[in-house]
Structure formats: C-alpha cells, structure tokens
Amino acid sequence: MKILVTGGAGFIGGNLSIYLENRGYDVIAIDSLERASSKGLLEDYGVKLIALDLRSSTDIPRADIIIHAAAYIDVDESFRKPYEYIVNNTAVTMAIARKALDYNAKLIYLSSAAVYGEPRYIPIDEDHPREPTSPYGLSKLMGEQAVSFYGRLGLRYAILRLFNVYGRYQSVSYTGVVSRFIERVRMGKPPIIYGDGSQTRDFIHISDLLKLIERVIEVDAEGIYNAGSGVETRIVDLAKLILKLANLELEPIYMDARIGDIKRSCADIRKARSLGWSIEKAVEDGLRELLYS
C-alpha cells in the first residue's frame, strides 16, 4: 500500500513516515522543508522525500492513502499572521482533499483539539461545539469543513483531532509545552509557565498517536476521532514532574497568560478506543525518555 504523508519532514509527519516505512508501507514524504525537523532522519530510514511547497503546487504522486499533516501550528504566531495560517492550513487542505478525491485515495486529515476552543464540559467528545479561540484553531476547523465538503462529493476520509502531542524529534518551534520545559530543564533552568499553572492539557506520546493512525489505516476507519490520552494534567504539575525527573530543586517561573490559551483540555477517547486502540505510554515514562534520550 502506497501512503503519501504531507508535512513528512516535520515532527509528527517525520515520525509517522519513518514508523509506516518500518511497518512495511510504501511511504512518500512531501514537505516544503520550511520548518522541517526530521529531514536527515528520513534519509537514514530510507523514506523517499519530495521537496514541494503545497501552497504553490499540489502536483503530488498518486497514493492509496494521503495523510495530511502539513500545517503551521503556532497559536501565538497565528494571531500575528492570520492570513498565512488560513492559506497554509485551510486552502492547502482544500486542495489536498480535492486531489485525494481525484485520485480515489482515502484522506486522513490531522486536525487539532484547538477547533473546540474553551470546553463547555470535560472530557471533550467529538460532538462538542467547535468554537476556536485562535486563528490557528479556526484554520484547522475550516480545514475540517473543506474535507467534509469533498466527503459529500465522494471523498473517503478520517479526521483526527490531535491534543498535545509530544515525543522524540520535537522541536521548540512546534510550540509544545513539553519541549519548551525540557529544553530549559536540560540547561539547568526552571520551566516558564504562562498563567498560574492551573490550566490543564491532555498529553499524548507520539508513539501512541502513530499506533492510532496505523489502526485507522488497518480497519479503514472513517469519521472524526479525538487523539489524546484521556488524562487531564495541570501545567504546574507537568513542570514539577519534569524538575523531579531531572533531579533539580527549582521552582517554575510564572509569566502573564497568553492570548488564545484555553483553561482546560482533556479528550474523551472512547471513539478511538472502539477501533481496538489504547494508550500505552504514561506521561511520566514519556518525559523520562525525552530527558535522558
């Protein structure tokens, strides 16, 4: 089976391309290389990489499945560059969805929990209202709507709403709080928390996400699925756990909360579990691996 991964040299796309290649799939990674963090790794694992900016061209090879991971993902940046986020995250998604329909390929779109906005209830299920609080979240929601539009024209698709993914090869530019905390702790500095630290997030290790995506492929699942751990973690507890694992007796530094940050987040993952998938990596184990890898 031939699988094409857009954003295939980024954090999630790179990990995914390598994982699927090792699992025996014929993988082609597409990436503009603008914000690539896994380019060298793809070459090491024998993954074919095509340098292509999808904003300029969607002249991509045919494939049985297209996994659309390419996106800008910085919430703060999206407030400064909303137009660029709509073009890169929405218009490109629409073009990729159309291409998948033309190729009679199934599309797996990696969306974001940012489409939900501030939750009305916890845990958040897939039917929760979508009220994004940032241009980033809006661009991902509009991407979902583009995919759904082509679905009504015959496109086969699955949408995964990613919560806070962390793991190997994650760059600070990915804006993951885990990567930012660990970078500072490795330098012997305390983590910086924006807000009072009581805000919560749902952290899913990249290995568990990759297995979920593979499960979607294996059972030919369609529809919308939350991709999280189902565990709600306070940011201050995350910071203190990382400090404890690093054997550092420091206290986090607190700064003003940032615009667009939601207060709580935790996924209802019963729908994903119904596919025969489950979480295997606890947050503490995943953090320990990152600190000492």
> Which residues touch 292 (CB under 8 Å, ≥6 apart)?
none
Tell me how far the alpha carbon of residue 212 is from its chain's centroid. Answer: 12
> Which pLDDT score is estimated for 198?
96
Task: Give CA angle at 80 (184, 93), nearest 5°.
Answer: 95
Residue 96 φ/ψ, nearest 5 degrees: -70, -40
pTM above 0.75, yes or no: yes
Residues 197-211 have pLDDT tens digits of 999 999 999 999 999
User: What's the Cα-to-Cα distance from 261 to each of 11, 272, 279, rounded to whole Å?
Assistant: 22, 26, 26
| 3-state class (DSSP) for residue 45 | coil
Q: What is the pLDDT of residue 44?
A: 87
Residues 79-87: what's their mean pLDDT?
97
Q: Which CATH superfamily is domain 167-201+231-268+278-292 in?
A: UDP-galactose 4-epimerase, domain 1 (3.90.25.10)
Question: How far apart are alpha carbons 26 and 209 in whole angstroms?
Answer: 19
Q: Could you check whether 2-165+204-227 and 167-201+231-268+278-292 share the same CATH topology?
A: no
pLDDT tens digit sequence for 159-179: 999 999 999 887 655 557 998
pLDDT-based confidence at residue 23 (cuts at 50, 70, 90): very high
Q: How confident is the model at residue 38 (pLDDT cuts 50, 70, 90)?
A: low
Compare 114 and 169 and report the one with higher pLDDT.
Answer: 114
Q: Which residues are catalytic?
A: 136
DSSP β-ladder status, 48-51 and 65-68: unpaired
pLDDT digits (tens, 9 = 90+) for 136-162: 999 999 999 999 999 999 999 999 999
Instruction: Report the first-to-last Cα separation within the chain, whole angstroms.
Output: 32
pLDDT of residue 285 exceeding 70: yes
Domain 2-165+204-227 grouped into CATH 3.30.465.10: no
**Selection from 143, 83, 77, 86 nearest residue 115 by Cα:** 143
Three-class SS of residue 188?
coil
Higher pLDDT, 292 or 235: 235
Percent of the chain predicted with pLDDT > 90:
87
| Res 222 pLDDT > 90 | yes
Averaged pLDDT for residues 72-90: 95
**Domain spans of the chain?**
2-165+204-227, 167-201+231-268+278-292
Average pLDDT, the chain: 94
* Structural contact between residues 226 and 164, judged by C-beta atoms closer than 8 angstroms: no
